[in-house]
Amino acid sequence: MPRLTPRDVLELTPELIGGLSRADLERTTHLLIELALDMANRLGRTSDNSSQPPSRDDPYKKQEQRDQGRQVKPAGAEPDAVGGDNHVAASNENRNGAVSQEGKGGNAPVKPPRKPSGKRPGMPGFWRTQPIVSTGDVDHDPPHCAQCGATLGVAQRRSIAEVLYVYELDREPLSLRLTCLKHRYHVAMCSVCGHETEARPGTGAKFVIEGRKRDLELTERCLVGPLLATFIAALSLRYRLSRTKIQEFLADWLGFELGTASINRCAHEFGAASEPVVEDLLKEVHVADLAHLDETPWYQAGVLCWLWVVVTSSAVVYHIGSRAKTELTLLIGEAFMGFLVSDGYKAYRDIERRQRCLAHIIRKAVALEKGFFRAGSAFGHDLARDLRALIHEVAEGGPDDRIKRLMTRVKWSCQCNQWEIEEKVRALAREILNDWDAIMAFVDNPWLPPTNNDAERALRHAVIARYISFGTRTDEGSRFYAAGLSVIDTCRKRGADPWVFAAQMIAAARKGAPHPCLPAAKTVVAAAA
């Protein structure tokens, strides 16, 4: 039996249906039912029941399923029946972290106990088998007497208080070389007062989390040097390698054995050292003349969060949090006076000077044009054509009368379709009319970009990372991940080497010294000149 297509449905007018015989009407009804069932099955496809990747699942529905999985099974419920259903439940547990068990007492969702991260008790740990062979010595002397403040030097050395071996990366043109430096911290005796002062490795901030076995502390007492730690963080953040893949890479290409815990520490050190730099970047964002802003779903320990990004001419700042308006205020400040380029999310509506991204509207118009909306398809075609022409004319400095005609045609088309019977056609027409000033702001300000491509391109790497890692696991990990990306992309935007700056940043954070200042934006200086 032939099958109907959505295009065939458009030809089923009331006049055609009224002229059908009973047999043809029954046959057409059966075909429509088959088509409806097929479309319903396609609509219900998820990563659980098809080969569709988890990234295409509706984030709100996934969060709703997780919330239902957190409900506790009522007391007195019957145990599950033994059989194949338990295998399905276990499979769903591995995928979604939640189980829906069926017993005699009904269908009650149950959350399985969450396994703690890291190695299980009793599992073998990682032990380095390489002997440490130093390639050079670095001496550290106390600069001043701790009692009287007199200057100390090499002549006042008496003994060695501590010895540390630190692996560092020598980054030279066309080569990378791993070295091991022996850091010797000396004890010096003051020739004035006779007091002995010890040189000790520097110590920075400490990040305490309740329940964690070992808290993160930025200190020079570390096996991995600043540049090597930066290299490991680059493999994780920029090149999206897992901890085990980084371990494999170091062993294969540098002949260096390092545990995944130390690799994870390097990535977290990079993020922790980046947080003070991000605070300075936010101050620049608050006074910027133009900012692009966008957000995308992000998962933290399976909970739906949102990854925000704000892009200015000289800064890129990421932030992981909720989708509430307070997150927007955190990024651009309470009194943002510049222009904001964004999509149609309602949290942006209160910003007075705003440019709505036309690429989003054009995509909606194309969806109407290529969809099955009867007269609404013509509206989508005309809208996409006129908006593209308007963008072109403004960019090329076209005549004012041509631009005004295009604006009038877009507005008239929306006014004619704001009462259309098709819901999506009606919704798009009203959306444009209600946000008309923000959509057409680029006409009066030709320097204003009509699309939000800068923010969407900035999110691309993070979205790919989300596909691979499924997000972050802790609030600290989310903060460090966003801060690290902010420093990397800001340096890229300013034409500076992010890894040289990152090594300086980590070295200063381990000493507890003030963080270095980000290099000035070369492109901005050249444009101003």
> Residue 387 phi/psi, 5° resolution?
-65, -40
310 SS3 class: strand
Q: Are strands 339-342 and 354-356 parallel, antiparallel or unpaired?
A: parallel
User: What are 357's two structure tokens?
Assistant: 């991204």
Going 55 to 58 to 59 to 62, the CA torsion angle's sign is negative
Residue type present at position 27:
R
Residue 371's pLDDT is 80
Burial 279-310, CB ≥16 within 10 A → b, else e: eebbebbbebebbbbbbbbbbbbbebbbbbbb
Residue type present at position 506:
I
Residue 1's pLDDT is 52
User: What are 165's two structure tokens?
Assistant: 């071996």
Residue 15's pLDDT is 83
Interatomic CA distance for residues 298 and 481, integer angstroms = 12
Q: How many CB atoms lie within 10 A of CB 98?
A: 20
Residue with tokens 């692996």: 167
Residue 69's pLDDT is 65
Q: Which residues of the chain have pLDDT under 50?
A: 72-106, 108, 523-529
Residue 18's pLDDT is 85
Report residue 316 CA to chain centroid gap: 12
Residue 455's pLDDT is 94
- How big is the CA angle at 337 (ends 332 and 342), to the nearest 5 degrees? 55
Going 415 to 419 to 423 to 427, the CA torsion angle's sign is positive
Q: CB under 8 Å to 133, separation ≥6 — which residues?
A: 180
pLDDT in tens, 7-25: 788 788 888 888 888 888 8
CB 296 within 8 A of CB 331: no
- How big is the CA angle at 499 (ends 206 and 299), to the nearest 5 degrees? 60
Interatomic CA distance for residues 6 and 193, integer angstroms = 94
Interatomic CA distance for residues 487 and 509, integer angstroms = 15
Compute the half-sphere exposure of residue 156: CA atoms within 13 Å on the CB side of its CA: 23
Q: How many CB atoms lie within 10 A of CB 16?
A: 10
Interatomic CA distance for residues 203 and 508, integer angstroms = 10
**Closest C-alpha to 348, from 326, 320, 364, 325:** 325
- How big is the CA angle at 381 (ends 377 and 382), to the nearest 5 degrees? 120
Q: What long-range pairs does 76-83 form, CB within 8 A, spacing at least 24?
A: 76/105, 77/103, 77/105, 77/106, 77/108, 78/103, 78/104, 78/105, 79/103
